[in-house]
Structure 1
Amino acid sequence: MMPEDKIGPPAIRILLNEAEMEAERMTGWVRVVLALALAVSLLGSGGIASIAGYGEFWARLGFGALAVAAFLALGVASLVLTRIGSYAPWMAFAFTAADVAIIMLAVAATLHDTGLGGNWIAIAPALWATPLILAVGALRYRPEIQLWVTGLLVAGLGLVVAASGASFVVSPPDATAFAANATAYDLLSLPANLVRASMLALAGVTTALVMLRARHLLHRAVKEAGERASIARFLPAEIAPLVEEGNLEAWRRGRRQEVTVLFVDLRGSTGLAENMDPARLSVFISSFRRRVMEAAGSYGGVVDKFIGDGALLIFGVPEPKPDDARRAIQCAREIIRLVDRWNAKRRFVPTVRIGIGIHTGEAFCGVLGAHERLEFTVLGDVVNVAARIEQATKRFGAPLVASEATVIRAGDPRQWQEVGREAPRGRSGAVVMLVPSDQATPERQDLEKGG
């Protein structure tokens, strides 16, 4: 079986695993139907034989009845295992091997009872079950199983032919010797041909079932792809794949974990907007967001949401890492660098300025909302404090301000200097705010004009 990491994305693996389970369940039903159909066919053939005066027909049904019972038992076993959840992928190899063994024994028994050599294998009615077995195998959508069955059938038929005796050249049989073995004629009688016709019809119906399942699986894949695309429209790109893996309910329940929150906001956007027509303003805001996304992508941040001319970035989801705070600071520096380069290129008047606030702490992380509109949310004191720190960048005249908790987590406190302490509304302890030692500090009043 192909390793899971080579099958495809998680959603495809889940879909194929579910399809395989459904296929084995359907294969079990096909075995049951096959057994019942063969039983009806044998009974019908026996009735016809009795009417035609072939009373010995019933005496020769021993192995045929045993084969029908074996198919029925395999079908029931398959259905029970899938029903109770004990079915494992390797069992498909065992079930198909049993199918082939039943057919091979039936063919060998036919040749033995009639006294015919291996060259006459084609007239054994049980041989007509081989296309049916191959058709049933196609229900699984597992090429390795189909190759396994094909190999077993070819090898099995070769062994039966060899064991029954075969020659490269077959001469016409001696009429007297052939007539002495009256049972050989039964293989070409109406009852035997009725069995062949039944198996051919079942093979045709099974292949139609394969096509029906293929169409169903295709429609389901398209539907689920559409649903995943819809989910991805509202969830961060880093979170959407986790929901696709079937963890939506877990994310709905949410969890608490440490995160680093980064707020970034444009300064002076009101003045810039007054001098731009709607089309240019749309391009301007889109360009700013693109730079934020570029920086977030470079340092593993998740853009939780854009809020007008600002953005909320999260570091530490879906799983927290020891360097979340350090990467958040690096991301902030990258945003500042990209905006400086943007200013130099476009020569904006007034100059585009930004404010960035960063804080680290515990938060609730989860997916909220209806299925039609899911939203990834981070809630908690850490978010509120980061927002207050971002607002404080105006007062301190600095583009980047981080909390002491973030700087300590980043591991470079000597490269920062304290600029203030305050207790945000609704919070008992004071938050120590720092700016990078090498950060140029513009005139505070100049910044506040554009705020």
Structure 2
Amino acid sequence: MRKFQGANRLDRQRSELTSTPVESAFWESENEAEYTIGWVRITVGLALFASGFLVSSEAADFAPGLNLTQLRVTALTTVAAFLGLGVTSFLLVISRQFRPWMAFALVTGDAAIVGASLYFALKDTGLGGNWVVIIPTIWAVPLLLSVGALRYRPLVQLWATSAAMIAVVSVVAGLGFSLEGIADSTEGQSVSRLLSLPPYIMRAVMLLLMGLVTALAMARSRRLLIRIARETAKRANLARFLPAEIAPLVGENDVATWRQGRRQQGTILFVDIRGFTAYAEKLDPARLSVFISSFRRRVMRATEASGGVIDKFIGDGALIVFGIPEPRVDDCARAIACACRILALVDQWNAKRGFNPPIRVGIGIHSGEMYYGLVGDEHRLEFTVLGDTVNVAAKIEQATKRFDAPLLASEAVVMQAGQQNAWVAVGQEPLGGRGEHVALFAFAGTKPPE
């Protein structure tokens, strides 16, 4: 039972850490960083072992009294420690047991290994703490600090810098300053100056600045990634409610501007399945869902081919707009082409599936001034088109039932498209919002206009 409760507690912690897409992305990045840094630790350990072995061998030529065995034991212990720490980070990541606080423990381990290696290397050679700059291990410090920038966590980097500084200063303070034997000559005096306190203060400042600069770079990168992630999430949320052609435009501008809306010329197309209610009663829910999805795919295919924008699907129908975001001279021609493509795709659908009775649709098209923009609040935005033009187009689509015609368009659409020869006048209807009559035309062409 205790083991089961512990597993539940770990699951809850992981869930809290990955509660949002942004946090989840950083969590994955943190795991990848520790995995990479684990390899760096192993590489550093092997490099230090090789360099320590070579240095100890060379030291035998000018210092026969050195304990080479002890030097090599120190080098071997260092590589073992880095290998162990690297393998530990691997296991934590692979087993999904890694937690954010563990990064602080791992960098503390790095600093402790470097400090111990420096201390014993100097002690074995009988040198003072101020000789720390000649030990190869010291170069592991800037390497570990630079690779730590993979984490995108400035606080960890600041702590790593502090821990490294504490380790090095402790070694120097513990072994003390020793210039014995090197200040007896002019060259020795020059070397002694480089190993005195002022140069060490400068080296410490440079190391500290390196850590601070990398931490600053990590903080800037983190802020940039968060901003990009939030913008991506914002656009993704907009895309859930807005047409695909509109969402990128809204993302590039202020949503408040789109809420104010805009009036301009445009062309509206309504399409609806005839007798759908009776047909739907014969289908079970699963087949009905497949049927509606198949119909909508055909509408989307025709709309995309014609350069229109699907404002919304309404049950078994759709409202399609041409002229957004900017009106074009061929809006009416493209709307007619879209309608003809829908009819052709429905005919192919009937032939493929053998529907009995066959699926029939009604399409109405009208052109004129319309309003479009965003409505709603930050929790649910919706793109919409409004105005008398939209209402007339919907009424023209309904009129296809009375005239028994699959495609009707207003005189304004036919004239603007310049396709008078492909249409036949069928009458005038009082469809306007202010009581005016609208001349209706039925399509008599044989193929979609180009």
Structure 2 gaps of 5+ residues are 1-132, 135-141, 153-181
Corresponding residue number in structure 2 for 1:222: 229
Q: Secondary structure at the match of 1:427?
A: coil
Q: Secondary structure at the match of 1:349?
A: coil
Q: CA deviation at 1:300?
A: 0.4
Instruction: Choose the corresponding residue for 1:310, options 317, 324, 331.
Output: 317
Q: CA deviation at 1:425?
A: 5.5
State how far apart, in whole Å, the 1-side matches of 2:431 and 2:410 are: 12
State how far apart, in whole Å, the 2-side matches of 1:262 and 1:173 are: 95
Could you tell me which amino acid in structure 1 is paired with residue 212 of structure 2?
Answer: V
Establish whether residue 419 from structure 1 lines up as the match of residue 419 from structure 2: no
Q: Secondary structure at the match of 2:328?
A: coil
State how far apart, in whole Å, the 2-side matches of 1:439 and 1:397 are: 17
State how far apart, in whole Å, the 2-side matches of 1:301 and 1:247 are: 24
Corresponding residue number in structure 2 for 1:264: 271
Q: 1:272 to 1:330 in 2, by over 3 A?
A: same
Structure 1 gaps of 5+ residues are 1-121, 124-130, 142-171, 441-451
Contact 1:258 1:320 in 2 (8 A): yes
State how far apart, in whole Å, the 2-side matches of 1:239 and 1:410 are: 25
Corresponding residue number in structure 1 for 2:299: 292
Q: CA deviation at 1:186?
A: 5.2
State how far apart, in whole Å, the 1-side matches of 2:445 and 2:198 are: 97
Alignment of 1:13-412 (within 5 A): 175-176=185-186, 188-412=195-419
Q: 1:177 to 1:215 in 2, by over 3 A?
A: closer
Could you tell me which amino acid in structure 1 is paired with residue 238 of structure 2?
Answer: I
State how far apart, in whole Å, the 2-side matches of 1:176 and 1:209 are: 43
Could you tell me which amino acid in structure 2 is paired with residue 380 of structure 1?
Answer: G
Contact 1:398 1:439 in 2 (8 A): no
State how far apart, in whole Å, the 1-side matches of 2:445 and 2:230 are: 54
How many residue pairs align between the two structures?
276
Deviations 1:375-429 (A, max 9, x none): 1111111100000100110011100000111111111112211111122253243
What TM-score comes out, normalization by structure 1 length?
0.56
State how far apart, in whole Å, the 1-side matches of 2:446 and 2:392 are: 22
Q: Secondary structure at the match of 1:311?
A: strand
Q: CA deviation at 1:327?
A: 0.5
Deviations 1:1-36 (A, max 9, x none): xxxxxxxxxxxxxxxxxxxxxxxxxxxxxxxxxxxx
State how far apart, in whole Å, the 2-side matches of 1:303 and 1:389 are: 18
State how far apart, in whole Å, the 2-side matches of 1:191 and 1:173 are: 17
Q: 1:279 to 1:178 in 2, by over 3 A?
A: closer
Greater RCO, 1 or 2 (C-alpha within 8 Å, sep 6+) = 1
State how far apart, in whole Å, the 2-side matches of 1:202 and 1:324 are: 62
Q: Secondary structure at the match of 2:253?
A: helix
Could you tell me which amino acid in structure 2 is paired with residue 374 of structure 1?
Answer: L
State how far apart, in whole Å, the 2-side matches of 1:174 and 1:382 are: 101
Corresponding residue number in structure 2 for 1:93: none
State how far apart, in whole Å, the 1-side matches of 2:268 and 2:188 are: 91
Percent identical among aligned pairs is: 59
State how far apart, in whole Å, the 1-side matches of 2:183 and 2:201 are: 25
State how far apart, in whole Å, the 2-side matches of 1:204 and 1:223 are: 28
Q: Secondary structure at the match of 1:265?
A: strand
State how far apart, in whole Å, the 2-side matches of 1:398 and 1:177 are: 105
Q: CA deviation at 1:178?
A: 8.5
Deviations 1:170-207 (A, max 9, x none): xx99945896xx8x965553123212211211211221
Q: Secondary structure at the match of 2:434?
A: coil
Q: Secondary structure at the match of 1:374?
A: strand
Could you tell me which amino acid in structure 2 is paired with residue 260 of structure 1?
Answer: T
Q: CA deviation at 1:208?
A: 2.3
Contact 2:432 2:438 in 1 (8 A): no
Corresponding residue number in structure 2 for 1:429: 436
Q: CA deviation at 1:340?
A: 0.7
